[in-house]
Amino acid sequence: MAEPKISMKDVDHVARLSRLTLTDAEKERMRRELDGILTYIDKLRALDTEGVPPTSHAVPMKNVMRDDEPRPSFAQDDMLANAPDGSGEFFRVPRIIEESAGEARDR
Amino acid sequence: MLTRLTVHELGARFRSGEATPTEAARAYLDRMGALDPKVKAYLTPTADHALAQAAEADARFRSRAPRGLLDGVPVGLKDVFCTRGVETTCGSQILRGFRPPYDATVVARLRAAGAVILGKLNMDEFAMGSSTENSAFFTTRNPWDLSRVPGGSSGGSAAAVAADLAAATLGTDTGGSIRQPAAFCGTVGLKPTYGRVSRYGLIAFASSLDQVGPFGKDVADTALVLQAIAGHDPLDATSAAIPVPDYTAGLSAGVKDLKVGIPDEYFIDGLDPEVEAAVRAAIATLERLGAKTERVSLPHTEYGLAAYYVIAPAEASSNLARYDGVKYGLRVPGARDLIDMYSRTRGAGFGAEVKRRVMLGTYALSAGYYDAYYGKAQRVRTLVLRDFQRAFERVDVIVAPTTPSVAFKLGEREDPLQMYLNDVFTIPVNLAGLPGLSMPAGFTQSGLPIGLQIIGKAFDEATILRAARAYEAATPWRERKPELAV
Amino acid sequence: MSGAYEAVIGLEVHAQLRTRTKMFCGCSTAFGARPNTQTCPICQGMPGTLPVINRRAIEFGIKTSLAINCTVNADNRFARKHYYYPDMPKNYQISQYEEPLAEHGHLDIDTADGARRIGIQRLHLEEDVGKLLHEGSLETAASSQVDFNRAGVPLMEIVSKPDLRTSEEAAAYLKALRAILVYLDVCDGNMEEGSLRCDANISLRPAGAKEFGTKVEIKNMNSFKNVQHALDYEIGRQARALDAGLRIVQETRLWDPDRGHTVSMRSKEFAHDYRYFPEPDLPPLDLPPDWIAQIRATLPELPAARRQRFMTAYALSPYDAEVATSSKALADYFEAAAKGSANPKTVANWVLNEVLRVVPPDDEKAIAACPVKPAQLAGLIRLIEDGTTSGRMAKDVFEKMFQTGEDASTIVSREGLTQVADRSELILVVDNVLTAHAKVVEDYKAGKKAALGFLVGQVMKSTSGKASPAVVNALLLEKLPKV
């Protein structure tokens, strides 16, 4: 079972995973607040959940599927209208460095 | 005054010709102009759209072919719903300027019913909060006391109805975000059963908990709006294929022999004594009206909050991953490379509470922690659900306070954990996917509204509404309105 | 590699499914549209949108699972796989993780050392990502452009167990798997266009050792040949490294077909944290047994079984059977033609030689579009068998049939390509040739048997190739001794 106390290293790691840039002040504050919340959440450990199945949907449903029937796609203009940096018919993004590509290559 | 009328009363005026939708829309728009600078319910008023829609409704009434009871009725929408061509921010800087090319299903259904959309309403950013103080833009005020919060996250939706700035509104409820502001603002607010109303086009916070619901000036209005939006949607795989009953039929059937459960765990030490007194009085009223009350126990209530604060942030961290500056919304310029662009955009575009929950959620799902946090919380969720199932073997509805306190002052609850405790009575209902309603049950000495919560069995909104209507008819609360000088 | 090491190879194949619409929305999967014109808010991951499962994709997944002998998991579920990349609209991919559609199957392949059974670990469904374009290489481009047309197309991922031991086996496995996918019509198997992709995991261990060595992932192999070459190269590279006492680094390497080597991606050796959890927007699947049974009942005859049957029913040689079944379209073509003929072996010859001269064996579309239909081919062969036309002329007829799509008999009568077999007609020609080439006749009589061929040729020349070679031969053999 994981120890809920969260370190600055944890904060850095999770911020990276979440793609969030935090100032040092934000990081410290975050560490404290998360620590408090995680301590509170720790009370869940006290509960015996042996043999209790997880509930992902309170209202059980299954086998919801649709037919393989085409629906009209949206116009290119509509799809690109909100682009922060559109480039003709494409969305444009800045330089993709190695670390980004690493995770994607592994798929 | 047209803006004081309920949806039903307004509809009657339209049909009799005493008033037109355009007159009603203008009345609301004028009132918004005069009062909203103080209440600050609206993020984006849509006056031109509203007048155009009202004009179309006018024509339908003139030719005696209105679409139904919502035709021409001015409504407001929490800014969490995608509205085609209208800026939809979800209360966040990261979606500033985003104009969706499509309507949420519930928006489409309201439009089809002829409702006139007055504008998009303020909310806590990405629906994360209990006071609307987390809106990236400004905080909405409680119409009963402008120095206090309206509750959240659907603060704008609740305040608008309370202040007669809309005839009815839509909000969303993930951990109490309809019921709690309804309680703080003295309106009716309903969170339907999970799956009762389509989530398509609702900007997701926590996928397995989010539900869309109405705010109304009274129970009948609330039932009417629910009727218009409920029902299966092929675009939402989690929407139930269960038929929608007529929520307005049987509304006045009363509560004779209705079995009402009173949960022990909702009457705790931290409960405001005035809230407790009002709720106990409400229970007594229900008994007088013929209901049979009995105590029930929901022993895992206290664990609900903790489970929620794992599940909701976990799902949120995933749902919010898409806000990255690539296709829509904010992109911080001048980034070195892609990762820098992502991180700076999200760092700048998300507020503190959102960042906190994204971090918490990512942590809970990360390698090595999944079983201890997310996995555990989902099992606790089963225990919470089973508590309700056991109670509902004996009773038809459960009645409790909506919140442990009444509306607090702006800036008063700064500690996140303190803020989370607001939702202790509402969260278990979301975990269990059950329907829950909040309605006015009185006022504190200082004139602040107190909310009564009625919880029902899955897909049994009709019984909740019936019980609510009976209580409403026997009490004077809805006649009282906040004193807002125009 | 001197035999000191054994290669342990596993292949991971991604197949784009031939559904009409995407995995989770109704946009078309058709190839070749202008960028960002085959998208909608759902496959672009716009706020508020939700996925809904395409039933046909599940059907194709079940069908494939059965064809490769997997156990279908009735209870299976989609899960979110998180990582940030611009071609990922939601920055998570809806895939399957702990509860995949199917597991524990196998595929039998033929190798130089006989048949081998290759285990299949799992099969699952997921959505494809968009396309990234940039000038030059990923590492140097100042920006990249994104096209989401492909985002959301259904993908089927099939992971083999690490049972393959040579690069030939790997190529054979890939070929066999591809053939099945194409036979089932669930994927068009086009590796160049990317509808079928293959990655490999390969490690080496001392021959006879039980433990696995460090595995390396190889990507960017877009043809059977490239798979084989890349693995051969990698086996050599790892063997050399191990011989030199070096440690194999666990990493991803890209195959460079132009330079003929694999290049390290040099990414850090940390495990990627995908933060998998069950997809909350999609209720789980609990596949009804009668649906699965219904799909099983509609499975077509698979390549291996069809190959066997061609050998027994039509007496084809193993090689001919292999080529004839190398694509379903070709096998269907052959079989349709064979049914219309008394002589399947002749049909096989024609299909495998003449037809394949004009259409590639694995181009399903081209075969289906071949202007010479199977019945027409059978018709041509009948004309040879009844002597109407000769084998040689028939080749010309075939070419004309290919150009015009007309029946053999139409072409033969119009162009006068009927064989002249009438002895009385040919006797005159033969006599003329014998007179005109008295010297050659002398050579023949002197013992040069090959001179006969020359004389036959001359008769053919004078009849513009229409004389029946058999009759000409017979006439010459009759007359020569008497000249």
Tens of pLDDT along C123-133? 999 999 999 99
pLDDT of C134 over the 90 cut? no
Tell me: do C252 and C362 sit in the same domain: no
Tell me which chain C residue has its CA closest to the CA of residue B373.
C277
Number of separate helices (H) and strands (E) present in chain B: 15, 11
Query: Mind listing the pLDDT tens digit for each residue in C318-352?
Result: 888 988 888 888 999 999 999 888 888 889 989 98
Question: What pLDDT shows up at residue C462?
Answer: 86
Among candidate residues C375, C410, C408, C406, the one with its CA nearest the CA of residue C394: C408
Among candidate residues B103, B127, B100, the one with its CA nearest the CA of residue B115: B103
What is the rounded distance in angstroms from the CA atom of residue C150 to the CA atom of residue C30? Answer: 9
Q: What is the mean pLDDT of residues C250-260?
A: 91
CATH number (domain holding residue B245): 3.90.1300.10
Q: Are B142 and B407 in contact (CB under 8 A)?
A: yes
Q: Quick check: is B129 in a domain?
A: yes
- Which residues does C456 contact at the CB level (< 8 Å), separation at least 6? C469, C472, C473, C476
Among candidate residues B117, B126, B118, B124, the one with its CA nearest the CA of residue B95: B126
The rounded percent of chain A whose pLDDT value lies above 70 is 87
Q: Does domain A8-46 have CATH number 1.10.20?
A: yes
The neighbour count for residue C180, using CB atoms within 10 Å, is 23
Query: Mind listing the pLDDT tens digit for each residue in C56-98?
Result: 999 999 999 999 999 999 999 999 999 999 999 999 999 999 9
Question: What pLDDT shows up at residue A1?
Answer: 43
Q: Quick check: is B23 in a domain?
A: yes
The rounded percent of chain C whose pLDDT value lies above 70 is 98
Query: Mind listing the pLDDT tens digit for each residue in C32-52?
Result: 899 999 999 999 999 999 999
Q: What is the mean pLDDT of residues C227-240?
A: 95
Instruction: Report the 3 state secondary structure along C437-480.
Output: CHHHHHHHHCCCCHHHHHHHHHHHHHCCCCECHHHHHHHHHHHH
Which strand ranges, in their side-by-side order, compose the sheet holding C5-16?
C71-72, C102-111, C114-127, C154-160, C5-16, C196-206, C216-219, C252-256, C261-264
Would you call C147 and A98 a contact, using CB atoms and an 8 Å cutoff? no
Domain boundary assignment for chain A: 8-46
Q: Which residues is B230 bridged to in the sheet?
A: B197
Tell me: do C364 and C454 sit in the same domain: no
Tell me: do C328 and C380 sit in the same domain: yes
What is the rounded distance in angstroms from the CA atom of residue B317 to the CA atom of residue A18? Answer: 8
Q: Are B475 and B469 in contact (CB under 8 A)?
A: no
Provide the 3-class DSSP secondary structure of residue C39: strand
Peptide bond into B153 cis (omega under 30): yes
Q: Quick check: is B226 in a domain?
A: yes
Question: What pLDDT shows up at residue C439?
Answer: 87
Among candidate residues C60, C249, C16, the one with its CA nearest the CA of residue C155: C16
Tally of domains in chain B: 1
Strands B449-456 and B397-401: antiparallel
State the nearest Cα–Cα gap between C276 and chain B, in angstroms: 7
Question: What pLDDT shows up at residue B485?
Answer: 72
Domain range enclosing C322: 301-415
Query: B314 — phi, psi (to 5°)?
Result: -60, -50
Tell me: do C77 and C177 sit in the same domain: yes
Question: What pLDDT shows up at residue B26?
Answer: 98
Residues of chain C with C-beta less than 8 angstroms from the C-beta of A19: 84
CATH number (domain holding residue C439): 1.10.10.410
Question: What pLDDT shows up at residue C4?
Answer: 86
Tell me: do C434 and C407 sit in the same domain: no
Q: What is the mean pLDDT of residues C149-168?
A: 97
pLDDT of C239 over the 90 cut? yes
Among candidate residues C225, C160, C174, C180, the one with its CA nearest the CA of residue C12: C160
Q: Residue C268: which pLDDT band, with cuts at 50, 70 and 90? A: low
Q: Which of residues 42-101 of A touch B (CB under 8 A)?
A: 43-45, 47, 49, 52-59, 61, 64, 66, 74, 78-79, 81-85, 91, 93-97, 99-100
Q: What is the mean pLDDT of residues C254-271?
A: 79
- Which residues does C371 contact at the CB level (< 8 Å), separation at least 6? C401, C402, C403, C404, C405
Query: Mind listing the pLDDT tens digit for each residue in C174-232?
Result: 999 999 999 999 999 999 889 999 999 999 999 989 999 999 999 999 999 999 999 99
Would you call C35 and A65 a contact, using CB atoms and an 8 Å cutoff? no
Can you read off the two tokens belonging to residue C165? 């031991």
Query: B344 — phi, psi (to 5°)?
Result: -70, -40
Q: Quick check: is B319 in a domain?
A: no
State the nearest Cα–Cα gap between A85 and chain C, in angstroms: 10
| DSSP calls for B283-303 | HHHHHHTT-EEEEE--TTHHH
Q: Residue C141: which pLDDT band, with cuts at 50, 70 and 90? A: confident
Q: Are C361 and C323 in contact (CB under 8 A)?
A: yes
Among candidate residues B243, B128, B259, the one with its CA nearest the CA of residue B195: B243
Q: Which residues is B331 bridged to in the sheet?
A: none
Q: Which residues is C125 bridged to in the sheet?
A: C156
Segment among C149-153, C246-250, C414-418, C432-436 with least mean pLDDT:
C414-418
pLDDT of A103 over the 80 cut? no
Among candidate residues B184, B271, B163, B268, the one with its CA nearest the CA of residue B450: B184
Q: Quick check: is C29 in a domain?
A: yes
pLDDT of A32 over the 70 cut? yes
Question: What pLDDT shows up at residue B239?
Answer: 97
The C-alpha angle C252, C258, C264, rounded to 5 degrees, equals 20
Q: Which of residues 166-225 of C touch A (CB under 8 A)?
A: 217, 219
Question: What pLDDT shows up at residue C1?
Answer: 46
The neighbour count for residue A2, using CB atoms within 10 Å, is 14
Question: What pLDDT shows up at residue B466?
Answer: 98
Among candidate residues C353, C324, C447, C468, the one with its CA nearest the CA of residue C480: C447
With a cut of 50, which residues of chain B have pLDDT below it? Answer: none
What's the length of chain C? 483
Query: Mind listing the pLDDT tens digit for each residue in C272-325?
Result: 899 999 999 999 999 999 999 999 999 999 998 999 999 999 889 988 898 888
Q: Quick check: is C296 in a domain?
A: no
The gap from C-alpha C202 to its chain's centroid, in whole angstroms, comes to 24
Q: Which of A59, A63, A85, A98 to mutate to test the interface with C (most CBs of C within 10 A)?
A: A63
Is pTM beyond 0.95? Reply is no
In the Cβ-directed half-sphere of C296, how many Cα atoms lie within 13 Å?
Answer: 13
Question: What pLDDT shows up at residue B486?
Answer: 63
Q: Quick check: is B385 in a domain?
A: no
Q: Quick check: is B74 in a domain?
A: yes
Where are the extended beta strands (E) located within C3-78?
5-16, 53-54, 71-72, 75-76
State the nearest Cα–Cα gap between A57 and chain C, in angstroms: 8
Domain range enclosing B156: 2-249
| DSSP calls for chain A | -------HHHHHHHHHHTT----HHHHHHHHHHHHHHHHHHGGGGGS--TTPPP-S-SS-----EE-S---PPBPHHHHHTT-TTEETTEEEEE---HHHHHHHHT-
Would you call B328 and C92 a contact, using CB atoms and an 8 Å cutoff? no
Among candidate residues C464, C455, C465, the one with its CA nearest the CA of residue C430: C455
Tally of domains in chain C: 3
Q: Which residues is B295 bridged to in the sheet?
A: B262
Can you read off the two tokens belonging to residue B176? 């109490």
Q: At what angle do helices C423-436 and C438-445 cross, to 10 degrees?
A: 90
Q: Which residues is A87 bridged to in the sheet?
A: A90
Can you read off the two tokens belonging to residue B462? 């009709």
Question: What pLDDT shows up at residue C3?
Answer: 63
- Which residues does C330 contact at the CB level (< 8 Å), separation at least 6? C323, C324, C351, C356, C361, C362, C367
pLDDT of A100 over the 70 cut? no
